[in-house]
Structure 1
């Protein structure tokens, strides 16, 4: 605030609390100089929620003590901290190799948010569900059947043989054992079967991956046959 805005603020406060009024010209000049020195970097109002008159009126309503410049500087600092805490630095639009321009744009955005001239940039949430999938992505998934292209899947096969064997079995029409819960080792869908390790005292010491249990294969085959029986009348 400049000196004229400080004078207008003091006149506004004087109408609400006469204890702040200075009738002597010298005292009024000193009061104006003091408030301008302490509140020169505090704006009168911002486009996004800050108004120093609201802070002054709130203090006069709730405190029995005469208002001081610190009673307006504290709400302003809280306002700045809250906005910066809710701000996520967006990626600058300049060349990232230009370090000076990159830093200048980041600092400029932060100053604008802290001063109340710009809204905090919120971090974009990860969308979920069908609403968050674009039309192009849906078409690509229908075409390839997976978000991993076939060439990439083939290149990764030597590094994940269990997954490659599972995908090959599904392509051949065989039941997917990992699609159901194993009733023997209680492995959840998508997890491999595990072998329990028993300590000398008879308690379980740990588990280790093992081959798929036959009961799990039988359950997956039964569910696949049941699903086929349910779909055949619908197709007919």
Structure 2
């Protein structure tokens, strides 16, 4: 608030509580200077729910004590905290490689929300089905076939041989061995098979990840695939 808004606020409060009225010109000037010093960064009103007059009126209605600048500043700080707590930072529209612009846009959005100029951005809920997929993203996924581009998938293949072998088998129409539990090494679905390292005392010293699943696991996946293929035919 500027000095004119502070004066208007004091005049409004004076009509509701005569204890705040100052008859001396010097006392009125001192009162105006004090309130401006303490409330200069508090707006009179914002487009989204804040009004200093409402906060002052609420205090006068509920408290027997004479109103102070803190009785206006406190609700304003609560208003700011509440709005920031409900705000989820939207993804900036600038180039993410431009860190300065990225940070500046995030900070600017937060300041606008805290100041009551903009509404808090709510986090988008997860929707069921395909209705919530962005059309541009959906067309891009159809184009490349996966959220991981083929070039990146090929570059990662040497570092995850078990997954690469699984993807290659599925692409060729073969059964997904990692889709079932291994009865030999007890690997859970989605986990690669492991080879046990046995010590001289026949105790297990450790395990090593295998690039290919155990034959019994592959047989189980094949049987499961054949069973699923027969079900539509029987229906």
1:231 correspondence with 2:222: no
Question: 2:218 matched to which residue of 1?
Answer: 217
CA contact (8 A) 2:92 2:105 kept: no
Q: Distance in 2 between matches of 1:97 and 1:148?
A: 24
Shift in alpha-carbon separation, 1:125–1:178, aligned structure 2, 3 A: same
TM-score normalised according to structure 1 size = 0.71
- Pairs aligned (count): 233
Question: 2:20 matched to which residue of 1?
Answer: 20
1:179 correspondence with 2:189: no
Shift in alpha-carbon separation, 1:95–1:153, aligned structure 2, 3 A: closer
Mapping of residues 127-166 of structure 1, within 5 Å: 129-135=129-135, 138=138, 146-148=146-148, 157=157, 160-166=160-166
Higher deviation after alignment, 18-27 or 222-231: 18-27
Q: Distance in 2 between matches of 1:94 and 1:70?
A: 42
CA contact (8 A) 2:199 2:205 kept: yes
1:51 correspondence with 2:56: no
Gaps of 5+ in 2: none
CA contact (8 A) 2:55 2:72 kept: yes
Q: Distance in 2 between matches of 1:216 and 1:187?
A: 10
Gaps of 5+ in 1: none
CA contact (8 A) 1:90 1:121 kept: no
Higher deviation after alignment, 184-193 or 155-164: 155-164
Shift of 1:140: 6.3
Q: CA RMSD in A?
A: 4.1
Shift in alpha-carbon separation, 1:81–1:221, aligned structure 2, 3 A: same
Question: 1:31 matched to which residue of 2?
Answer: 31
| Secondary structure in structure 2 of the residue aligned to 1:130 | coil
TM-score normalised according to structure 2 size = 0.71
CA contact (8 A) 1:83 1:114 kept: yes
Q: Distance in 2 between matches of 1:81 and 1:187?
A: 48
| Secondary structure in structure 2 of the residue aligned to 1:30 | helix
**Cα displacement string for residues 177-233 of structure 1 (whole angstroms, at most 9, x for unaligned residues):** 111122343322221112456789998765432452333222212111111211334
CA contact (8 A) 2:89 2:106 kept: no
Shift of 1:143: 7.1
Question: 1:6 matched to which residue of 2?
Answer: 6
| Secondary structure in structure 2 of the residue aligned to 1:116 | coil
Question: 2:72 matched to which residue of 1?
Answer: 72
Shift of 1:67: 1.0
Q: Distance in 1 between matches of 2:215 and 2:76?
A: 69
